[in-house]
Amino acid sequence: MRDHSSSRGRRPSLRHRPLTHRPPGRAAARAPFVLVAALVGISLSAPLVRISHANPLAIASWRLGLSLVIIAFALVVTGQWRQWLRLSRREVGIAMVAGGMLALHFWSWNTSITLTSVAASVVLVDTQPVVVALISVLWLHESPTRTQWVGIVVAMLGAMIIATPDLLSESASAARHPHALLGDLLAAVGAVTAALYFVAGRRLRATLDLWPYVGLVYGACFLGLLLLAAITHAPLAPQPNRELAIFAALALGPMLLGHTGLNWALKHSPAYVVNLTLLGEPVGATIIAAMLPGIREIPGPLTFVGGAVVFAGVLLTAKKDP
């Protein structure tokens, strides 16, 4: 890759492409609707993972691998893969780091759920909007307004309300989680790595169109997952047809509709606004799980109360400056 930042007549490198003060357009107006669709996509993840019997790293590897097949087709048809030729080494490095952070997020959070309570894991990983906001201030120079900070806090309180029943029921059974501290630390790692992934995406999406961006980042994530699977001796193949069908659904729903929708929105909305959308996942996942045969988990009233609080926080955070 050539560093072209000083070349004439070529696309400037990302450090010369400001993120702020972009005039609103049709794409920016569509961002809220894309985020809603992305929320539906990522809400499918937990129910689909729940009915799978595969190793967590196998699930993540297959969903990334199948997604990359579709992304490769889109890159060839559109010819947008040529944008990679204009990237600087720094930009390629950021993309590799973003993909590596996503792989570590998949591994650390999935592992944390096996070591600590589900409630503790969810609450800790849901701290990522604050981490995203702080990193956005330091690296992207995108500072949330006072109202947006209030919205972030409100949305996180809503997430804690959703987790309250699990916290109350599982706090008395800590003996079932002898490695809870390690699980809690891994959940915190999951929050930080997800935050870095989203902030890096916000930076790179100023330079790359959607398909070249996700092709690079998902590809790096896929390689990272394969490396983690090799280190931990996670069985990846062969897989029965039932599992392959689940992996395909994960690729189409949570990955292509969910994560790719969020990555599309990163070009038009601050990273902390996009990331906050993930706090609605417990509500969406709970509703879907209640309808899926084989799960049928009926949500309690606190799920809907917490969901309403999360939604209010998201609306506050997405509010534009006057």
Q: Residue 299 has which token pair?
A: 């949500």
Q: Taking all residues of the chain, what is their mean pLDDT, rounded to a whole number? A: 77
Most confidently modeled range among 116-120, 126-130, 150-154, 284-288:
150-154
Average pLDDT value for residue range 283-294: 68
Assess whether pLDDT exceeds 90 at residue 77: yes
> Residue range 99-110: average pLDDT?
86
Q: What is the pLDDT of residue 183?
A: 76
Cα dihedral 243→246→248→250 (10° resolution): -130
pLDDT number for residue 180: 65
**Site of tokens 């090799």:** 230
Alpha carbon separation from 225 to 21, 92, 146, 154, 218 (Å, rounded): 37, 19, 38, 34, 10
What's the pLDDT tens digit per position in 83-96?
A: 998 888 888 998 99
pLDDT at 74 over 90: yes
Q: State if pTM tops 0.85.
A: no
Query: What pLDDT does 108 receive?
Result: 85
DSSP 8-state code for residue 83: G
Residue 73's pLDDT is: 95
Reported as a single tens digit per residue, the pLDDT across 19-62 is 444 444 566 677 778 888 888 888 887 788 777 888 888 988 99
Give the model confidence (pLDDT) of 35-45 as tens digits: 888 888 888 87
Cα separation of 129 and 322, whole Å?
23
Q: What is the pLDDT of residues 157-186, one digit of tens each?
A: 877 776 676 556 555 444 455 566 787 788
pLDDT (0 to 100) of residue 265 = 85
For position 222, what pLDDT does the model report? 95
pLDDT at residue 7 in the model? 42
- With a CB cutoff of 8 Å and minimum separation 6, the contacts of 279 are 126, 129, 155, 156, 158, 159, 310, 313, 314
